[in-house]
């Protein structure tokens, strides 16, 4: 099996760390608890007048590099690497403000997973052009220029629970879902 | 047609600018004129005792960002974008020293081609996992984890003229080779 794995919201805790920083930076403003998050883009769920402040958080230097790993993700990735020959981290850079995100994603992988995994990063806005059997991704719908050849297995998050047609996975049940021993 | 285009040695003049900097930084040392370059890696053609100095040049901050475009490349890319719906810049980061190269490749594309093209960057060490009809690349042999579905059209360079089985292209004859009007 050729496996593609997304980063933010799957192995790096974008939402959790966004919320932590939001509450720290704007304690007087409303916040949306993780379990109430709906829709893929956090910015769209906050009131319009907060849009600039929301983006300020994930555009700030160090945000991507310092995201904590999702619980169980690093251990799961190491086990997966032992079981499968072809595993890639398939991640989209933030655009147009790519300045911090692009390099920090590389740093994150190097720091948490090491050089071998840096070698297996695929940075692309269009994931449908990448060959694979399975893509694990938290994004509800993944569009691009090709009909994807991979099955989109959803990494379960509160904001994607409106999607019902896909298999779901977390780092608690990945072995059963992917049928890997 | 879905077209993948490499960056270094195809649209960005890695070899030309390396040589310029080499002669500037080490005027007392031997240099290898472009037309005598053999083998893909410039480091391997210079005497072993210069290896560190050679790498110092392309690992230095600003090297990738300031590469001049290959003559005719920017004009050709703009015409290609008008003719084809699916064009991607498919480029491999330098590893393990990715610190400058990764972000600077994005800057280069932004500065020379604009945001639209930044959107179409695919950064991957393994180009065989990317779907496409044609990959234009100066590297003599491109290996990876898949049997590539693209035809490898070689961007003609002195150091890849030992390869005889592939079609060859430059920014002078690309329309005829790709059969694009």
pLDDT digits (tens, 9 = 90+) for B97-150: 999 999 999 999 999 999 999 999 999 999 999 999 999 999 999 999 999 999
Residues in chain A: 181
Interface contact B97, partner A, CB < 8 A: no
- Residue B131 is nearest to which of A2, A103, A146, comparing CB atoms? A146
Average pLDDT score over chain A:
96
CA A169 to CA A163: how far, in whole Å? 13
Multiple choice CATH, A14-58, 1.10.760.10, 3.40.30.10, 1.10.40.40, 1.25.40.10? 1.10.40.40
Q: What is the mean pLDDT of residues A134-143?
A: 97
Question: Is B2 in the A-facing interface, judged by CB distances under 8 Å?
Answer: yes
Q: What is the pLDDT of residues A11-68, one digit of tens each?
A: 999 999 999 999 999 999 999 999 999 999 999 999 999 999 999 999 999 999 999 9
User: Does B122 contact A124 at a Cβ distance shorter than 8 Å?
Assistant: yes
Yes or no, beta carbons of B125 and A120 under 8 Å apart:
yes
pLDDT at A148 over 80: yes
Bridge partners (DSSP) of residue A155 are: A169
State in words which class domain B2-13+67-178 has. alpha beta
Mutate to test the interface with B, among A65, A84, A100, A103 (most CBs of B within 10 A): A103
Please answer yes or no on whether A125 and B124 come within 8 Å at the CB atom.
Answer: no
Asked if A145 has any chain B CB less than 8 Å from its own CB, the reply is yes
What is the rounded distance in angstroms from the CA atom of residue A156 to the CA atom of residue A173?
Answer: 11
The one-character DSSP state at A180 is -
Whole-angstrom CA distances from A93 to A102, B40, B49, B65, B106 are: 6, 29, 39, 18, 10
- The answer to ipTM > 0.90 is yes
The candidate with the shortest Cα–Cα distance to B51, out of B22, B10, B74, is B22
Contact A146 B130 (CB under 8 A): no
| Residues A123, B122: C-beta atoms closer than 8 Å | yes
**Chain A residues with beta carbon closer than 8 angstroms to that of B130:** 129-131
- Select from B95, B106, B120 the Cβ nearest to the Cβ of A118: B95
pLDDT of residue B181: 77
CA–CA min distance B29, chain A (Å): 34
- In chain A, what percentage of residues exceed pLDDT 70? 100
CA pair distance A40, A63, nearest whole angstrom: 18
A132 and B129 within 8 Å at the Cβ level: the answer is yes
Residues in a beta bridge with B124: A122
Region A133-139 average pLDDT: 98
Question: Using a CB-CB distance cutoff of 8 angstroms, which residues of chain B are in contact with residue A103?
Answer: 99, 102-103
Contact (CB, 8 A) for B29 and B37: no
Q: Does B146 touch chain A (CB under 8 A)?
A: yes
Cis peptide bond upstream of A96, omega within 30: yes
Q: Please state the pTM of the whole predicted model.
A: 0.96
The residues, ordered by sequence, that sit 6+ positions from B180 with a Cβ below 8 Å of its Cβ are B1, B79, B80, B83, B84, B174
What confidence score (pLDDT) does residue B15 get?
97
Residues of B with active-site annotation: 6, 8
Q: Catalytic annotation on A172?
A: no
Cβ-based contacts of B7 with chain A (< 8 Å) = none
Give the pLDDT score at A181: 77
B128's tokens: 């065989």
- What are the structural domain ranges in chain A? 2-13+67-178, 14-58
**Residues on chain A touching B122 (C-beta within 8 angstroms):** 122-124, 126, 129
CA–CA min distance B135, chain A (Å)? 13
- Pairs of residues, one from chain A and one from chain B, whose beta carbons lie less than 8 Å apart: 77
With contacts defined as CB-CB under 8 Å, which chain B residues touch A149? 131
């Amino acid at each position: 099996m050729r496996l593609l794995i997304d980063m933010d919201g799957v192995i790096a805790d974008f939402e959790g760390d966004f919320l932590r920083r939001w509450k720290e930076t704007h304690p007087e403003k409303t916040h949306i608890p993780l379990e109430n998050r709906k829709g893929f883009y956090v910015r769209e769920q906050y009131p319009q007048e907060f849009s600039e402040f929301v983006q300020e958080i994930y555009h700030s230097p160090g945000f991507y590099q310092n995201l904590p790993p999702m619980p169980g993700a690093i251990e799961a990735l190491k086990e997966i690497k032992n079981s499968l020959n072809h595993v890639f981290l398939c991640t989209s850079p933030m655009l147009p403000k790519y300045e911090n995100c692009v390099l920090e994603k590389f740093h994150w992988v190097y720091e948490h997973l090491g050089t071998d995994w840096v070698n297996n990063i695929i940075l692309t806005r269009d994931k449908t052009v990448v060959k694979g059997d399975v893509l694990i991704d938290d994004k509800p719908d993944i569009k691009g220029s090709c009909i994807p050849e991979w099955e989109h297995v959803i990494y379960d998050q509160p904001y994607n629970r409106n999607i019902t047609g896909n298999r779901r996975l977390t780092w608690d049940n990945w072995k059963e879902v992917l049928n890997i021993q």
